[in-house]
Structure 1
Amino acid sequence: MSVPLDLIPAPHDAPQLTLVDQLVQWGRRRIEERVFRPGMRMPSIRKLALDKGVSRFTVVEAYERLVAQGYLDSRRGSGFYVRDRASAAPTLSIVAAPEREPVQSAIDVVWLLRNMLHTSSPEKGPGLGYLPGRWLDGELITNALRSMSRQSGAQMLGFGTPQGFLPLRQQLQTRLEELEIGASTQQIVLVSGITQAIDLIARLYVQPGDTVIVGDPAWFQMFGRFASQGARLVGMPYTPDGPDLDALEAMVQTWRPKMLVINSVLQNPTGTSLTAAQAFRILQLAQTYDFIVVEDDVYGDLCPQGYPATRLASLDQLKRVIFLGSFSKTLAANLRVGYVAASAEVATALTDQKMLVGMTSPELNERVVYKVLTEGHYRRHVERLRSRLDGVRDKTARMLEKTGLRLFSSPTAGMFLWADTGVDSEGLAAAGHEAGFLLSPGSLFSPHQSPTTWMRFNIANCGDPGLPAMLAGHLERGGRRSG
């Protein structure tokens, strides 16, 4: 059965496109959306003709037109490859190991960001970084808004305060105490999510040429932000037990970094968490080599009570650690309410930087989160999320293993599984896109974006019955890499 060419509908009075024109439009869209990325080999003429139900001549003609338009390169005897077109993406220096020289590499996260909203349902989005809406509790938000509507509207008309809504900061102070992190309200700054927190920290502390150590793999969006500051990113490898601290020590000795950015609990994408011994060693290195530690705890609320994990800020008490939190994963991504806890000096500097960048963060959103946290239902809501994740984690892990994937580790909490597909994960992501699935290739999670067989799966979004067959079919067609 042929796959229809999925084009943007043409106006009724537009001339009918030929099959070649349709195929050219299809190819251009896939390249512009970063489904087919620079250097990737396009589907063979025979395969694309079969998939699209057209003749090989039609495919050849379409490919030749894409070559003429600057989208493809033709390599005699090898096929057609996506051309590395001029891009405005920032570049940065990265290092995969201490003995290697920095390499220039364009950081490109547009593929996933642009396609996040293209999935028809969360079940079709194993690569998404958030929980499906049906898992969240819209009534929590609705009730908070309803409660606010009974208050004087005059409270909503001002700029708000630079550090953020004071009652919410007071509530966060209590929550941090539960994590054994001592912070006054003057040490807490509200921000529009973790992304803004990283942006403010980068602006304040990172200068061109500074080294920033990040996980390899790690949350991809911060790579581009540090790149725009001219930073050199050094990728710290991970093991199934967490970060490779011997490699980290060699890196800090060689590169003398300005900072380390790390998920200490339920790391994205490996799902690993720091032990107390690992946390102590990281802080010892930070003290010895004088670098800042940015601790991203965005997944902390998905960590069940009694889970064996240690937060760096609880050991350091915000002397050298800058602690980040957010409610985007548990309440609603579009609320954009996060916070930074740091020393008083750092909090003041971040507040000043926040005013320069965007005055204040939206107090209306902060009031909504405050209502949710203080009306007594948030803890039960989070417990339900943990329970639902527990209910699908093993099932998803078994499905991936049965399909032929190898899991990096076996986390007992959180929302991600990191799996070795055995084939180029960018090619698998492209095949998934064609089948209507949004997948996250592992190259996105590395600061140098090298081709890799690894891929991240959101266990809450792997319920579509067609996913195993799609994965197995591509793996069977693509074959396994040797070794």
Structure 2
Amino acid sequence: MTSTNPPLLSRDSAESLVEQIVRSVGLRIDDKLLRTGARMPSIRQFSDLHAVSRFTVVEAYDRLVAKGYLESRRGSGFYVRERHAMASAGYPPDAAAATPPKLDVVWLVRNMFRQLPPQKMPGSGLLPNDWLDADLIGNALRAVGRSNQNLLLQYGVPQGFLPLRQQLQLKLAELDIAATPEQFITTTGVTQGLDLVARHFLQPGDTIFVDDPAWFLMFGSFSLLGAKVIGIPRLADGPDIARLAEMAALHKPRLYVINSVLHNPSSTSLSAAKAFQILKLAEQHDFMIVEDDIYCDMHPGGATRIAALDQLQRVIYLGGFSKTLAANLRVGFIATSPELAVQLADRKILSTLTTSEIGERVVYKILSEGRYRKHLDRLRSRLDSVRDATTRRLDGIGIRVDTGSTSGMFVWADAGCDTNLLTENAMAEGYLLAPGCLFSPRQLPSHRMRINVATMEDAGVWGFLERSVGR
């Protein structure tokens, strides 16, 4: 029988008790943990069970009725409404009435967009809003709005806002990567950059290599193109070179996508020796390297990029600002050879015409005025302070964190149990985790999970982990 009791409530949360009840009950209904027709505890029962006032329960239940989650039956109590009635959940009726959710890539991304408080989302891939600088972005946006307004009403340049591309030239020069403005194409984030590159190089049946573990979203994207996605085991200093050589000879891949710096999910970085070996294998087996450097600015410096060794001949370099400025800006870029840049710009025209020049102007304004560096210093310092404390506390409850990373926002942890089940239990209590199975193209059960250290300041998260895996 499905339990109708919501999770324990946190008095330390920034959310009110009413908001916590509404959110947690709504999530349990969305995820089919509370079935249609299930009777909710009476107001008195709920009040006694969770040590909250009856006024709090009445207000929470009334909000859930207004949102379409519950119905009130006079003289009988409150019941879970039919799923198709819940338009407020944000899903089409058929999707809401489907079978219970499966833990997959789409599940995780969909739940990331539920707008849970950041402290409820240890599995998220973004920094909390209060870690970022809204004033920095707001000031730049207002300055752009005061510029020639006619420019804001028309298409931008397909290859991207030229002053931004000139600024990116300076940015890459600091990484020892030489590129002219003509070698850049702006994109709607790194996600679009990967898609443009994949569509340019891959035909159905082609093979693409990725790290294992790696960023989960690209697995499904590449598979939809008909590509065969193969994972190369990732070690603390980069891929398993022997395995990469073996698989390259066997499968003849077209592309190898890799995080050289602050690898997602482990936050480890590539050694110089491994970078050289990867480039040598790419030349030997004739595949292109796609270097995804989205976490570039979270690293304090001195890391090795394959693009710096190759100078954009066999390496396609991707970057962006969603992790350090604002995800909503959706400004990324591709840097590559002049010939390929023209071809990718043409492909961009056929798919989206141009990207938003407004966002590109905002990013240019921020980069060109010098405040971005100080913002990054603050971010890195704050991450350093919470990473060490989080790692020690995780270790204290029996969750082992891999060593080898001293930068970045993620730790790759071994919970010692099936993290799919752990994630399901966490969601039932209103917390979003990122189980290890999603970070492998094979998606096998795993004891691993990715933890965003910037989101680990909520007492409720720690309480859940201590009850679930503490030993």
* Same fold, judged at TM 0.5 (above): yes
State the distance in 1 between where 2:281 and 2:290 align.
14
* Cα distance per residue 1:305-349 (max 9 Å; x no partner): 34xx20000000000000000000110000000000000111111
Q: Which residue of 2 aligns with 1:350?
A: 344
Q: Which residue of 2 aligns with 1:332?
A: 326
State the distance in 1 between where 2:304 and 2:423 align.
34
Which deviates more, 224-233 or 13-22? 13-22
Q: Which residue of 2 aligns with 1:377?
A: 371
How many Å apart are 1:2 and its aligned residue? Answer: 6.8
Q: Which residue of 2 aligns with 1:40?
A: none
State the distance in 2 between where 1:10 and 1:450 align.
39
Which deviates more, 139-148 or 262-271? 139-148
Matches for 1:437-452 after TM superposition, within 5 Å? 437-452=431-446
Q: Which residue of 2 aligns with 1:93?
A: none
**Contact 2:193–2:334 at 8 Å: present in 1 too?**
yes
How many Å apart are 1:16 and its aligned residue? Answer: 3.3
Normalised TM-score (structure 2): 0.81
Q: Which residue of 2 aligns with 1:465?
A: 459
Residue 80 of structure 2 aligns to a residue whose secondary structure is: helix
State the distance in 2 between where 1:212 and 1:255 align.
9
Q: Which residue of 1 aligns with 2:417?
A: 423
Q: Which residue of 2 aligns with 1:152?
A: 148
* Cα distance per residue 1:143-171 (max 9 Å; x no partner): 11222232221111211101000000000
Q: Which residue of 1 aligns with 2:449?
A: 455
**Contact 1:270–1:409 at 8 Å: present in 2 too?**
no
State the distance in 2 between where 1:305 and 1:374 align.
20
State the distance in 2 between where 1:168 and 1:240 align.
34
How many Å apart are 1:367 and its aligned residue? Answer: 0.3
How many Å apart are 1:190 and its aligned residue? Answer: 0.5
**Contact 2:72–2:79 at 8 Å: present in 1 too?**
no
State the distance in 1 between where 2:98 and 2:255 align.
40
Q: Partner amino acid for 2:370? A: G
**1:295 and 2:291 correspond:** yes
* Cα distance per residue 1:184-239 (max 9 Å; x no partner): 11110000100000111111111111110001100011111101110101111122
State the distance in 2 between where 1:14 and 1:24 align.
9
Q: Partner amino acid for 2:326? A: A
CA RMSD of aligned residues (A): 2.7
Question: What is the number of residues matched between the two proteins?
Answer: 406
Name the CA shift for 1:191/1:407 in 2 (closer, same or farther; >3 Å): same
Name the CA shift for 1:466/1:10 in 2 (closer, same or farther; >3 Å): closer
How many Å apart are 1:14 and its aligned residue? Answer: 5.5
Which residue, 4, 22, 32 being the options, matches 2:80? Answer: 22
**Contact 1:389–1:413 at 8 Å: present in 2 too?**
yes
Normalised TM-score (structure 1): 0.79
How many Å apart are 1:240 and its aligned residue? Answer: 2.7
Matches for 1:149-298 after TM superposition, within 5 Å? 149-298=145-294
How many Å apart are 1:25 and its aligned residue? Answer: 5.8
**Contact 1:119–1:436 at 8 Å: present in 2 too?**
no
Matches for 1:67-106 after TM superposition, within 5 Å? 71=99
How many Å apart are 1:419 and its aligned residue? Answer: 0.6
Q: Partner amino acid for 2:359? A: N
How many Å apart are 1:253 and its aligned residue? Answer: 1.2
Q: Which residue of 1 aligns with 2:15?
A: none
Q: Which residue of 1 aligns with 2:5?
A: 3
Name the CA shift for 1:344/1:23 in 2 (closer, same or farther; >3 Å): same
**Contact 1:181–1:314 at 8 Å: present in 2 too?**
yes
**Contact 1:164–1:361 at 8 Å: present in 2 too?**
yes
**1:361 and 2:419 correspond:** no
Q: Which residue of 1 aligns with 2:317?
A: 323
Residue 459 of structure 2 aligns to a residue whose secondary structure is: coil
Q: Which residue of 2 aligns with 1:311?
A: 305
How many Å apart are 1:352 and its aligned residue? Answer: 0.5
State the distance in 1 between where 2:170 and 2:307 align.
15
Which deviates more, 143-152 or 345-354? 143-152
Q: Structure 1: 5+ residue runs without aligned partners?
A: 34-68, 72-81, 85-106
**Contact 1:292–1:321 at 8 Å: present in 2 too?**
yes
Q: Which residue of 2 aligns with 1:124?
A: 120
Name the CA shift for 1:20/1:423 in 2 (closer, same or farther; >3 Å): farther
* Cα distance per residue 1:364-416 (max 9 Å; x no partner): 00000000001110001011100000110110101111111112234111110
Q: Which residue of 1 aligns with 2:37?
A: none
Q: Structure 2: 5+ residue runs without aligned partners?
A: 7-24, 31-63, 92-96
Residue 113 of structure 2 aligns to a residue whose secondary structure is: helix
Name the CA shift for 1:19/1:113 in 2 (closer, same or farther; >3 Å): farther
Q: Partner amino acid for 1:454? A: R
Q: Partner amino acid for 1:247? A: R
**Contact 2:236–2:269 at 8 Å: present in 1 too?**
no
Which deviates more, 237-246 or 16-25? 16-25
Q: Partner amino acid for 1:3? A: N
**Contact 2:335–2:341 at 8 Å: present in 1 too?**
yes
Q: Which runs of 4+ in 1 moved over 6 A?
A: 17-21
How many Å apart are 1:258 and its aligned residue? Answer: 0.7
State the distance in 2 between where 1:122 and 1:304 align.
25
Name the CA shift for 1:206/1:19 in 2 (closer, same or farther; >3 Å): farther
Residue 466 of structure 1 aligns to a residue whose secondary structure is: helix
**Contact 1:108–1:224 at 8 Å: present in 2 too?**
no
**Contact 1:193–1:337 at 8 Å: present in 2 too?**
yes
State the distance in 1 between where 2:187 and 2:116 align.
30
State the distance in 1 between where 2:78 and 2:148 align.
62
Q: Which residue of 1 aligns with 2:44?
A: none
User: Percent identity, aligned pairs only?
Assistant: 49
